[in-house]
Amino acid sequence: MHKLTIAEIARKLRSKEFSSEEITRHLLQRISELDTRYNSFVTVTAEQAIAQAKQADTRLASGDTEPMCGVPFAHKDIFCTNSVLTTCGSKMLSNFVPPYDACVVTNFKNAGAVMLGKTNMDEFAMGSSNETSYYGPVKNPWDTNCVPGGSSGGSAAAVAALLAPGATATDTGGSIRQPAALCGITGIKPTYGRVSRWGMIAFASSLDQAGVMAKSAEDAAIMLNTMASFDEKDSTCVDQPLEDYTAGLGNPLAGVTVGIPKEYFGEGLNAGTQAAVEAAIKELEKAGAKIKSISLPHTHLAVPAYYVIAPAECSANLSRFDGVRYGYRCDEPKDLEDLYKRSRGEGFGDEVKRRILVGTYCLSAGYYDAYYGKAQVVRRLIKQDFVEAFKEVDVIAGPTSPSPAFQFGAKSDDPVAMYLEDIYTIATNLAGLPGMSLPCGLVDDKPVGLQLIGNYFAEGKLLNLAHQFQQATDFHSLAPASIA
Amino acid sequence: MEWETVIGLEVHVQLATQTKIFSGSSIAFGAEPNTQACAIDLAMPGTLPVANEQAFRYATMFGLAVDAEIGKRSVFERKNYFYPDLPKGYQTTQLEEPIVGPGNVDILLSSGEQKRVRIHHAHLEEDAGKSVHEGASLGFSQAMSGIDLNRAGTPLIEVVTEPDMRNAEEAVAFARKLHSIVTSLGICDGEMSQGSMRFDVNISVRLKGGELGTRTETKNLNSFRFMERCIEQEVERQIEVLEEGGTITQETRLYDGDTHTARAMRSKEEANDYRYFPCPDLLPVILDDDYIEQVRSTLPELPDARQKRFEETYSLSAYDAGTLSADAAVASYFEATAKASGDAKLAANWLMGELSAKLNAEEIAIGGSKVSAEHLAGLIARIKDQTISNKIAKQVFEAMWNGEGDADSIIDAKGLKQVSDSGALEKMVDEVMSNNPSQVDNYRKADEKKRPKMLGFFVGQIMKASNGQANPQQLNEILKNKLDAE
């Protein structure tokens, strides 16, 4: 049962091969048996999941047609869940139980989906290896000595280890696509503004975007249909008509032009990764796509610009965690300043503190223009690169990350090496474009991801390409040998 | 040495919107602590702001009223600092691209001179909550403070002037004019005691014609009287320091309304670096010409236009018209009284005289007046038709204030009607003359010049006898006739 895709589960629930309660109990059992290996969940909501499954079974019996109805899945622990602990991977929120649901959580509840639990993540989504979580690192199911990527490492590992057929995730600078690549699954970050950020704990507001992780492009399309909505509570949400992302999956690729940015194949790219990605591009060509070499000349500025803008925004976004109203508070504060200093000093981990400091510095009097101001200029240039490129091509393709999963500790002492993990993904966030990653091969028995980047609101096109690729290949159905 | 004072104001005006600037919570004053604070106001994780259209409308109305340019693109920024009454750890405000650009306000000084004060800009922002340091009364042990977030997120416009004022009188005149403008627009309730308008005063002194001196900023003045006293004190302090050869420290001062003293709160060195940057949760707000024109078409009559109309329609002096037109509620009370009584001059005199004295003495606003415009007009009508004298009218007014009914019923009940019956008056005159033969004799011996003064004695006697109800004009006539007749 745990090997099934969401599309298959939806069918079998309706053909009564099993009930939602049965598959939910099965997956909860798997989680309790296996997740000690992966540490992909922070909280498992077994009781609530079974109650939701029973409700879904009633809905299914009365002919409910919502594809996610009765389908178990997991939420990244960055989404606020009413009455359920929401930690954001931090000690700061180790006691935080929100009295409200994120818009994304409401959408899945309304669809009748069954939440198995909340997945582990880098603290406040800051990290590319899941090593910054207060709840311990997540292990990559392909090799438990390796990182799953981050920040949505828990969601990626849960799907890769077949503990959940799909999971929600967020992507501020590659946090869906990089772990999807490292764990051999399919992940999509939609256009900025497509999914409401209400109730999603902010890291960098102008970059944060929720998306999904699943075993296939088809499943990602089904989940995204449920997830996407216009929400008046998020002023940055775009009031764009909703589309059925499954509708165009079968479109042929003839007439689709795929751009290959030469900057994504330079120094730093692992040879095996490069070979797998190039082979995948050939596969797209075989399926009818036209391949065209393009240039995104400001690519090299994406990481530095990102590491000014994201920390700047986070330095303000995380000010609310002050020990006054909720969350962690230090013991016996002797005055207000002591309360602030120790609550924040003890409640935040090193990477979060590093980014708050960097962001505070970048916004300081005398440095603002040189850092934040410049970074905004770069951001516009990067966006312009894409605008120009999409005049010539429909989709851009390249590697998701420079190399497959690395060992724990390999980069944790070198922030810059860690930041370069996201060298191919970050520009997409700066431009607000949709991007996805799908498995396209193995290097040393570890998965490699192919990244697809689309024009604004072209999620359907990305999913179409990915689905066609997955019809012709079986990389997405590979599972780690250790997982039965 | 001749010193010159330079004053600029920053005025926080609370907008009388239905809900907060970024959330759906009510902003009504006086609720139990923290009962008007939702998840957004508490800065719970994952919550997001949504800008309140009414706040933009009100700010636009203000901008149009002070003849300012309206920022077609207005951007919210985050002003970062930590304080327990600031839940997000930043205040959402505007800096580089405010909604209201440069404008101006004309003020009338007691010398009769009109002066123009330039508005540098006005921006929209959210108010903070309140720290309540009365631990014991809240049931806390003494050392604790409470936080009330009801006010957090209340929409404000901060109006920043150019340093165009030269003394306390000008600053207060500006403040009153601003109060008049925002209450006339209906965008602020003007309740100073509830903090609906708060003034920060920037003060420096310089040698006349010299370069600008170092300024201090005194924050949070919430009455015109405090502002006046604070400016006078601070100017005196600065001059004293300078004359003793000292220098002024750029600092922020806090005025204590109980002790009427100000103290330094923090110096420039201790000032926060607020690290402003555009708020990524709120997109720039674009106001197009249609919107601005639509708002313009809804503007009510403004104080300046009303003053002019009062001068012309009711033949009032500039001073009277200015006083009566400044406050929208006073203006409408005046107009109702003037129309119903048919005598604008008397209506103006009563409003600025007896009524205003009563209101001030009991510290109530005109809206709470115990004498309605209709009742005051009724009283004025009786003065006009000589049913009662001015003196008796004051007695009737007092009775109306005490809730004894309208003028006519009080005049009837108390028998205050003026005696205009010439037969009755003649009888009284004869009686007084026969009782005071020597005074009559003196009068008749006196020359023409001294007589009017001497007449006063007889008038006084008759008024006393008639309980003040004798018609004074008629009485004068009869008296004169009889005394002069010999």
What's the pLDDT score for residue B137?
58
End-to-end CA distance of chain A: 11
For B357, counting Cβ atoms within 10 Å of its Cβ (0-12 exposed, 13-18 middle, 19+ buried), the class is: exposed
Annotated catalytic residue A216 = no
What is the per-residue pLDDT for A360? 97
Judge whether B34 is closer than 8 Å to chain A, CB to CB: no
**B307 and B273 within one domain:** no
**Residue partners of A414: CB distance under 8 A and separation at least 6:** none
Is B87 in Cβ contact with A312 (below 8 Å)? no
Structure tokens at B411: 């005049």
Sheet holding B251-256, edge to edge: B103-108, B114-126, B155-161, B3-14, B197-207, B216-221, B251-256, B261-267
- pLDDT confidence band for B433 (50 / 70 / 90): confident
| Residue B257: domain span | 3-295
Residues B314 and B463 in one domain: no
In order of their start, the domains of chain A are 6-256+456-477 (3.90.1300.10)
Contact B46 A199 (CB under 8 A): yes
In A128-249, which residue ranges form alpha helices assigned H by DSSP? Answer: 153-160, 177-183, 217-227
Question: Do residues B280 and B376 share a domain?
Answer: no
Token pair listed for B440 = 């009559």
Residue A77: list chain B partners with CB under 8 A. Answer: none
Contact A209/B at CB under 8 A: no
The count of structural domains within chain B is 3
pLDDT value for B141: 60
* Model pLDDT for residues B259-311, shown as the tens digit of each residue: 888 888 887 777 789 999 999 999 999 999 999 999 999 999 999 999 999 99
CA distance B155 to chain A (A): 18
Q: Nearest chain A residue to B81 by CA: give it.
A: A319
Chain A hits for B46, CB-CB cut-off 8 Å, are: 79-80, 98, 102, 197-202
Helices assigned H by DSSP within B317-436: 318-326, 328-341, 344-350, 356-362, 373-384, 390-401, 407-414, 422-435
Best of B88, B274, B277 to substitute, by most chain A Cβ atoms within 10 angstroms, is B277
Q: Which residue has the tokens 């000595």?
A: A145
**What is the secondary structure of A406-429 as a DSSP string?**
-BTTTTTT-HHHHHGGGTTTHHHH
Does residue B372 sit in the same domain as residue B228? no
| Average pLDDT score, chain A | 97
Return all residues near B377 (Cβ < 8 A) that are at least 6 apart: B336, B337, B338, B339, B340, B341, B347
As a whole-number percent, the residues of chain B with pLDDT over 90 amount to: 65
Domain of B437, CATH number, reads 1.10.10.410
Predicted confidence at residue B139, as pLDDT, reads: 61
Task: Mean pLDDT check: name the lowest of A294-298, B53-57, B211-215, B478-482.
Answer: B478-482
Closest CA to A451 of A422, A477, A474, A480: A422
Minimum-distance CB partner of B281 among A98, A102, A205: A205
Shortest CA distance from A87: residue in chain B: B45
What is the pLDDT of chain B when averaged over all its residues? Answer: 91
**Cα–Cα distance measured from residue B217 to residue B414, given in angstroms and rounded to the nearest whole number:** 58
Say how many C-beta atoms besides its own lie within 10 A of residue A248's C-beta: 15
Catalytic one of A40, A90, A128, A151 = A151
Q: Half-sphere exposure of B245 toward its Cβ, with a 13 Å CA cutoff?
A: 0
> Cα separation of A148 and A38, whole Å?
9
Q: Give B374-409 pLDDT, tens digit per residue.
A: 999 999 999 988 888 888 899 899 999 999 999 988
pLDDT tens digits for range A360-416? 999 999 999 999 999 999 999 999 999 999 999 999 999 999 999 999 999 988 888
Question: Residue B233: is it exposed, middle or buried by C-beta count within 10 angstroms (0-12/13-18/19+)?
Answer: middle
pLDDT at A454 over 80: yes
- The answer to whether residues A451 and A397 touch, using CB atoms and an 8 Å cutoff, is yes
Residues B306 and B321 in one domain: yes
Give the helix/strand (H/E) hosting B458.
helix B451-465
Q: Are A67 and A212 in contact (CB under 8 A)?
A: no
Nearest chain B residue to A196, by CA: B48
Which of B42, B88, B283 is facing A319, going by the closest CB pair?
B88
- B271 close contact with A: CB closer than 8 A: no
User: A111 and A58 in contact (C-beta within 8 Å)?
Assistant: no
Any A CB within 8 A of B282 CB: yes
Contact A125/B at CB under 8 A:
no
- Tell me: do B75 and B175 sit in the same domain: yes
Out of B414, B445, B460, pick the residue that ends a domain.
B414
Q: Is B189 found in the same domain as B281?
A: yes
Neighbours of B444 (CB within 10 A): 13
Give the pairing type, strands A72-76 and A257-261: unpaired
Q: Determine contact: A79 vs chain B, CB below 8 A.
A: yes
Dihedral pair phi/psi, residue A114, rounded to 5°: -110, 115
More confident residue, A443 or B139: A443
Least confident of B43-47, B93-97, B207-211, B331-335: B207-211
The span from the CA of B416 to the CA of A76, in Å, is 85
pLDDT, tens digit, for every residue of A109-162?
A: 999 999 999 999 999 999 999 999 999 999 999 999 999 999 999 999 999 999
Residues B365 and B442 in one domain: no
B24 and chain A in contact, CB less than 8 A? no
- A175 annotated active-site: yes
Q: Is the CB of residue A326 less than 8 Å from the CB of residue A96?
A: yes
- Residue B389: its pLDDT value, please? 82
* Average of per-residue pLDDT across B9-13: 98
Q: Is the ipTM of this complex over 0.85?
A: yes
B51 touches chain A (CB under 8 A): yes
- Facing residue for A372 by CB, picked from B42, B147, B277: B277
Which pLDDT score is estimated for B485?
Answer: 77
| Same domain? B126 vs B274 | yes
Q: How far apart are CA A473 and CA B52, in angstroms?
A: 52
- A372: which chain B residues are within 8 Å (Cβ-Cβ)? 277
Residues B180 and B61 in one domain: yes
Of A273 and B29, the structure prediction assigns the larger pLDDT to: A273
- The enclosing H or E element of B217 equals strand B216-221
B53 and B159 share one domain: yes
- The side-by-side arrangement of strands in the sheet containing A435-443 is A41-44, A114-119, A72-76, A166-170, A210-214, A186-189, A435-443, A446-454, A395-399, A257-261, A290-294
- Position A328 scores a pLDDT of 98
Output the pLDDT for position B429. 85
d(CA A121, CA A227): 20
Per-residue pLDDT reduced to its tens digit, A288-316: 999 999 999 999 999 999 999 999 999 99
User: Is residue A91 pLDDT above 90, yes or no?
Assistant: yes
Among residues B398, B414, B430, which one ends one of the domains?
B414
Q: Which residues of A touch B47 (CB under 8 A)?
A: 198-199
CA-CA distance, A223 to A211, in Å (whole number)? 9
Distance from CA of B52 to the nearest CA of A (A): 11
N-term to C-term CA, chain B? 71
Verify whether residue A477 is a known catalytic residue.
Answer: no
Which of A201, A235, A363 shows the shortest C-beta gap to B45?
Answer: A201
CB-based contacts of A355, cutoff 8 Å, min separation 6? A126, A310, A311, A314, A315
Q: Give CA–CA dist B476/B474, Å, rounded.
A: 5
**Among residues B295, B319, B337, which one ends one of the domains?**
B295
Cβ pair B237, B32 in contact under 8 A: no
Could you tell me which residue, B29 or A5, shows the higher pLDDT? A5
CB contact under 8 A, A324 and B147: yes
B71 touches chain A (CB under 8 A): no
* pLDDT surpassing 80 at residue B480: yes
Which of these is catalytic: A19, A20, A76, A437? Answer: A76
For residues A434-439, give the mean pLDDT. Answer: 98
* Distance to chain B for A241, nearest Cα, Å: 20
**In chain A, which among 320-349 make CB contacts under 8 A with chain B?**
320-322, 324-326, 336, 340
- Whether residues B280 and A204 touch (CB distance < 8 A) is answered with yes
Q: Are residues B45 and B108 in the same domain?
A: yes
The whole-angstrom distance between B94's CA and the closest CA on chain A is: 16
Tell me the C-alpha to C-alpha distance, in Å, between residue A476 and each of A395, B28, B284.
20, 58, 42
Whole-angstrom Cα distance, residue B11 to residue A473?
A: 68
Predicted local confidence at residue B134, as pLDDT: 66
pLDDT of residue B150: 95
CB contact under 8 A, B47 and A198: yes
CA distance B104 to B188: 19
Q: Can the peptide bond before residue A151 be classed as cis, meaning omega within 30 degrees of 0? A: yes
